[in-house]
Amino acid sequence: MAKVQVPVPSSVIAAGGLVGGYGVARWTKKRPLGGAVLAVAGAAAAQQWRQRAGGKAAGALTVAYLAAFAGSHPLAKKVGAWPAVLGVAGAVALASWAVADRRA
């Protein structure tokens, strides 16, 4: 019997990269390792964004992903680290779904 593979939505990959990157950095106390998780997930999401929605949309979503990462730092000072990371991850996931995933 043939297996049917369902691709992981780019919104899940992007949110997972932000949450996973922070979690890895925090629990291992190795920020570069968390950055690697963030980068690999971002690249995987960007590839799907390009395939599903085109280069301009992929560029915009990549900027949003990087802005979410950067924006989580000052936001964490106001609401705490985990709420900030989860909030920006949710925002990126929503944008990714709206622009790329809902078309699939």
Q: State the chain's mean pLDDT as an integer.
A: 95
Q: What is the DSSP string of 22-82?
A: HHHHHHHS-HHHHHHHHHHHHHHHHHHHHHHH-HHHHHHHHHHHHHHHHHHHHHHHHH-HH
> Quick one: pLDDT at residue 103?
75
DSSP state of 15: H
Q: How confident is the model at residue 7 (pLDDT cuts 50, 70, 90)?
A: confident
Contacts with 95 (C-beta within 8 Å, 6 or more apart), sequence order: 61, 64
> Quick one: pLDDT at residue 15?
98
Backbone angles phi, psi at 32, to 5 degrees: -60, -30
pLDDT digits (tens, 9 = 90+) for 48-70: 999 999 999 999 999 999 999 99
